Copies of this chain bind each other. A is one copy, B any other.
Amino acid sequence: MIVRCWKVLFAALIGIAALGPVQAQSPDPLPSWNDTPVKQDIIDFVARVTTEGSADYVAPQDRVATFDNDGTLWVEKPLYTSFVFVIDRVKAVSNQHPEWKTKEPFKSVLDGNTKKLLSYGEKGAVALIAATHSGMTTVEFNDIASNWLKTARHPRFKRPYTDLTYKPMIELLDYLRGNGFTTFIVSGGGIEFMRAYTEQCYGIPPWQVVGSSGKTEFRMWDASPTLVKLPDLLFFDDGPGKAEGINHYIGRQPIFAFGNSNGDKEMLEWTANCKGACFMGLVHHDDAMREYAYGPDSDVGTFPVALMEHADANGWGVVSMKDDWEVIFSWGAPSP
């Protein structure tokens, strides 16, 4: 608390000095970041690519920045939020599906056996999503997702998931957009679930959200056009799918990308293949007190040793949540 007061006093003195002939420093664009090297690397990179005449100058239309969502922009522990939503949907409609009591992966959901559920991997997730994200219109699905986001609470923080976005990353998104970047989400999560909150939480419109998606079918119902969600997968946006998704949806190679796990490796490699300057970053969850600490051994958001070695060897920025972020969440919980 004393530290905070000194900061305020110091800021006031700087403010007074600014009234005189000495020019005030521009305000800190990333105030929730501690003054550590990775913050300076980001600011230096943005200055280099936006300064006309610089060898690394990049025209605004080529300033594409892509961000993973779960674990990069908001909390993903103890389970990916989109997965919690799927589990709640399975439970909500299970009375219409008595066969789920004995059929996996539904049985594990109903038994509350998360470890077993995660062991079914991508195939299990796709089966659950197919069963719970289809058979309704896109408008109905959006209502279901929006209502869930209003009422669901995180088991540890007892807050809506939309409060559990990372404040330093929201600042980074704003900072990049203020410097002519276009910001995108490229996530393994369901595209329509994300679009229910990305504009409100991140200022990112739905057409700048890339995610996993199912097919839809256009039908005329009572002379009104409707899009019905089908159980068939259209696109799976994780791992190599992230580089493919960037091509399909965005159509331009990023020069800035941030992830936090093994599923983001190909997105960062694709970004690192840029012709000029580019920045690749990874959020490292090492703050058990304020959030979570996990890495190679985690089922969720796995950050293997090989990825850390690759990041170090290639100069990718690794953000320590513990050391590099003064604040974690957007809802403004006081730092301990």
Question: CB within 8 Å of B: which residues of A?
Answer: 61, 138, 182, 184, 191-192, 195, 199, 205-209, 213, 215-218, 220, 224-225, 227, 234-235, 240-241, 243-244, 247-252, 266, 269-270, 272-273
Contacts and interface: CB of A to CB of B under 8 A. Distances in A.
A251 B182 contact: no
B213 A248 contact: yes
A252 B206 CA distance: 7
Determine how many copies of this chain the complex contains. Answer: 2
Nearest to A218: B240
Which of A220, A234, A251: most chain B Cβ within 10 A?
Answer: A251
A216 B218 CA distance: 25
Given A225-B266, A235-B234, A207 B244 contact: no
B249 A207 contact: yes
Contacts of A243: 218, 225, 227
Given A61-B199, A227-B244, A244-B227, A250 B218 contact: no
Given A206-B250, A227-B243, 13 more contacts: A184-B207, A195-B251, A206-B251, A207-B207, A213-B248, A217-B244, A218-B241, A218-B243, A218-B266, A224-B273, A225-B243, A227-B244, A234-B234
Contacts of A247: 138, 216, 227
A157 B299 CA distance: 61
Contact of A182 (B184, B207, B217, B240): B207
Contacts of A234: 234-235, 248
Contacts of A269: 220, 225
Contacts of A266: 218, 225
Nearest to A244: B216
